[in-house]
Chains A and B, each alone.
Chain A
Amino acid sequence: MRTLFSLLAITVLATTAWAEPTFLAKQYTRCTACHYSPTGGGLLTPYGRLLSHRELATTGATGEAPAAGAADDPHGEQAFLYGALGDTLGPVQLGLELRPSQLRIGFPGGHQDLNLLMNLDLSGAVQKHGWTAYGTVGREPPHSAVRDGRTLPDSAFISYEHWISYQPDERFQLRVGRFLPAYGVRFADHTTYTRRYLDLDRNDQVYGLEVSHTTGFSLVQVMVSPGKAEAILHDRSRRGFSTAGRWQLDLSPRATIVGSGFYRHSTDAGPRSGAVGGAFGFAPTSRVSIWTEADADLETKAAGGRSWVVVNEASVEVYRGIWLKFSPQLRTAGAAPGSSQVRRFAFAADLLPRTHWNVNLAYYLDHSFNATTSTRVVQLHLFM
């Protein structure tokens, strides 16, 4: 029984990265303003670290910042381990991510409490002459790692992302390695329906080649891959060519539209599948952002069938460093027998009392197969 709920808990919580499309409210339409990855999430750039310190943390408003024109400053509140290592690392940027969590999962007739360390990852990056080398090493939680179709009961080593990119100018970027494909909006919560049901979950990275091209208000990203990274490494039967494309058009610094497509060729274990969708993000004020994404899930697997996935997320900064979120989500029933419509109402509060501290309080109400479950989450997300 405990294993069952551990699995459920991992499904709810584990994540490899923290990306924030809510920052559209602060006039940031591109992930690369704060993250090394062109698809967002993961290690923060020096600018992202400073933003976390000076503009997000409740206590960071008066903090010192590197001088104007600076390329980096490994000292101070925003730096790795709060600058304890000083210049020791040279051009290497590091980040340590920890996420102790407490859950209460309610179900008809009872509930289950769990205390888990959901993340323990070290990420690093080096950038020079247009080249970026990026990688993470860490621990996959118990009952999470899959080897040849079998779920391991213990935690396992994992490198969620490792890639090299080259950017010859401000427009083009080439990336090769293991990364999460560009598709739709990368919501911070990886269990968001548009991520979970479209195979963009915590370890759905691919090994592939990605090309990004930006021309001011437009960003196009195209990826080709021989298959999911975990399948290539551990499950031959699930290897299959895949390709994805994403186009983002910034209508203004606070409004953007996104169109995406994904195609996965058949594998030994399943038929071909894909998705197409669109998203719209809008920030009416500097403290509010509203994202809506709708996708047609063209999955042809017998267990799923074709369906629609729709997610809305509204975020409000009620006080400096305190964000409230509300997110209704829906996945319609597929054509296959036994397929059920699923609905979710998610409520969350993100408290950012100090630089790189995020106390996340969340409540999920999930409804499927005529049953409702609730999940209460309290977690401390430290990104040092």
Chain B
Amino acid sequence: MKATLIGLVLLGATVVPAPTWRVEKGDVRVICSMTIGGSFDAKTAALSGVVTARASGSEPFDGSLAVDLRTLATGIALRDEHLRENYLEVGKGPGFEAATLSEITLNGFTADVPEGKGSFTGVLVLHGVSKAVTGPVEVRRADAGLRVKASFPVELADYGIRKPRYLGIGVRDTVQVEVVFALGRSARS
């Protein structure tokens, strides 16, 4: 009897699926510091993706988050055009038209319901180049899901993006990415 109970408990522990989270709403802000001082924001709400926590909290999440770079906007039409066509080169196809973050690992959280402040690492694919990124992340409960806020720097040269320079004005070599999004439990979980 005792052995049967232990067996059921163990079985139960192994069949409970790891939680899967889907991006329900997101805002991406790319802070572009200018060579003359000051900055401008490039923004989009086109963030999507599904991630699944693994049983072990130290292992990366399955799945990825993606940003449609074709929707990045700065409020100045010509700047948008240059940003998308000449520097991000979104017209080159897959690997260029979106930026994806995968192999996400949270540090300082539990796997089931991560909450609090910590850091993350992940692999960012941008401009057809994959590179590891890391930065602070904050996770809070919100309604039935989670609200996540994360940021990380991107060195443009690391991704083969040429220096944005135009008529004497330019963007500095490093831009800062801030992402805020709401996660809801996916039907799969």
The reply to whether A27 and B41 form a contact with Cβ atoms under 8 Å apart is yes
With beta carbons under 8 angstroms apart, the residue of B35, B78, B86 that contacts A69 is B86
Interface of A is mostly: loop
Q: Which of B141-189 contact A (CB under 8 A)?
A: 162, 165-169
The reply to whether B82 and A68 form a contact with Cβ atoms under 8 Å apart is yes
With beta carbons under 8 angstroms apart, the residue of A27, A54, A65, A71 that contacts B168 is A71
Max count, chain A CB within 10 A of own CB: residue among B38, B75, B165: B38
The docked-state distance in angstroms from the alpha carbon of A218 to that of B36 is 11
Q: Which residue of B lies closest to A25 (CB)?
A: B75
Q: Mark B90-130, 1 if CB is under 8 A from A, else 0.
A: 00000000000000000000000000000000000000000
Distance in angstroms from A323 CB to nearest chain B CB is 16
B37 within 8 A of A: yes
Interface of B is mostly: mixed
A197 within 8 A of B: no
B74 within 8 A of A: yes
| Known contacts A50-B167, A55-B77, A72-B167; is-contact A27 B40 (Cβ 8 Å) | yes
The reply to whether B166 and A47 form a contact with Cβ atoms under 8 Å apart is yes
B39 within 8 A of A: yes
The reply to whether A29 and B38 form a contact with Cβ atoms under 8 Å apart is yes
Residues of the A chain whose Cβ atoms lie less than 8 Å from the Cβ of B38: 28-30, 33, 217, 219, 250, 253
Residues of the B chain whose Cβ atoms lie less than 8 Å from the Cβ of A214: 36-37
The docked-state distance in angstroms from the alpha carbon of A32 to that of B170 is 12
A165 within 8 A of B: no
Chain A residues proximal to chain B, CB less than 8 Å: 26-30, 32-33, 45-47, 50-51, 54-55, 61, 65-66, 68-73, 127, 170, 214-219, 250, 252-253, 286
Chain A to chain B: the 6 pairs with minimum beta-carbon distance, closest first:
A214-B37, A68-B86, A27-B40, A47-B167, A29-B38, A46-B167
Query: What are 28 A-B interface contacts by the 8 Å CB criterion?
Result: A26-B76, A27-B41, A27-B74, A28-B38, A29-B38, A32-B37, A33-B36, A33-B38, A45-B168, A47-B166, A50-B167, A51-B76, A54-B78, A66-B167, A68-B166, A69-B166, A70-B166, A71-B167, A170-B35, A170-B37, A215-B37, A216-B33, A216-B37, A218-B37, A219-B38, A250-B39, A252-B41, A253-B41
